[in-house]
Amino acid sequence: MSITARGELLSPTRITAAAARLAVQIFLMVCLWRALYADSSSSAGLTMPQAVSYAVLSTLAVRIRTTNRSGARDTVYQHVQSGTIVYWYARPLTPQRYYLLRGVGDQLYGFAWACVAYAICLVVGVVSPPASIGASLAFAVTLALGHALLYYLVLLSDQLCFWMIKNSAGMDILAFALNLLSGAYAAIWFFPGWFRTVSAALPFQYTLGVPLSFYVGRLDTSALLEQVAVQIAWMTVLALITRMMWRKAGERVVSQGG
């Protein structure tokens, strides 16, 4: 679980670069959204403090989901390309459990970054506190379920490497779609009605947009049970699909020799 964290902690330059990049991203987000609200007090049901808080929190959330495993050459894509994926099936620890432990470790490491940055932004006044106690609880519950849902979406994309010769383009497309449709680039509330309808029919916005909407008060806490039910439904469907794909992937891995 701690492989990614240890790899980065052993390279201080990577830590410094990541901190500097995150600080610049937050600064640019604050400047952008404050400028957009210069002539307006409210847009898409969000005030300027709400919009800035949403934008900064989405930047921190993206930091959680973009932990880099490629430096340790431990991505599914790299293992499939080099053939070392066979070792995932040859050792006592099953591929499913190893992937889960790595995923949990990556998200916990990213979450530590986000918590430190959030505390600083809260003290500085860049981010507003949750709209209410109920909103903070709704945010915490949906954020936890959202990251579990995110795990299955990324897993499904990784599993496609077993059937596609090159999956790097597919990974890039998924990353873009995930950030766009989840509300990481901008809150879904700012998009046209047809876009919001399409987004609601897909699982992406439930990984980030819904939790942040509870945090800033754009979604009322009365909608919590409905949103949680949708998140759990998507998780159940994706869990069944990825479980089947792990089994099918194992049938495609062939080990020759002793």
Write a three-state SS string for 86-145: HHHHHCCCCHHHHHHHHHHHHHHHHHHHHHHHHHHHHHHCCCCCCCCHHHHHHHHHHHHH
**78 band by pLDDT with thresholds 50, 70 and 90:** confident
* Per-residue pLDDT reduced to its tens digit, 211-256: 999 999 999 999 999 999 999 999 999 999 999 988 888 776 655 5
Q: What is the pLDDT of residue 216?
A: 93
Q: Is 190 or 6 the better-scoring residue by pLDDT?
A: 190
- For residue 46, give the H/E element and its range: strand 46-47
* C-alpha 218 chain-centroid distance: 20
257 band by pLDDT with thresholds 50, 70 and 90: very low
Q: Give 253's DSSP letter.
A: -
Q: What pTM was computed for the model? A: 0.86
Question: For position 258, what pLDDT does the model report?
Answer: 42
> Quick check: 209 and 183 in contact, CB under 8 A?
yes
Highest mean pLDDT among 8-17, 61-70, 143-152, 160-169: 143-152
Torsion of CA 102, 99, 143, 208, to 10 degrees: 100
122 vs 131 pLDDT, higher one: 122
pLDDT tens track for 123-168: 998 999 998 899 999 999 999 999 999 999 988 888 888 887 666 6
Domain spans, the chain: 3-252
Task: Quote the pLDDT of residue 141.
Answer: 96
The residue assigned the tokens 């400028």 is 35
pLDDT reported for residue 18: 78
pLDDT at 94: 84
pLDDT one-digit tens code per residue, 152-209: 998 888 888 888 766 667 777 877 888 899 998 889 989 999 999 999 999 999 999 9
Question: Does residue 68 register a pLDDT over 70?
Answer: no
pLDDT band at 44 (very low <50, low <70, confident <90, very high): confident
In the predicted model, what is the mean pLDDT of residues 65-82?
68
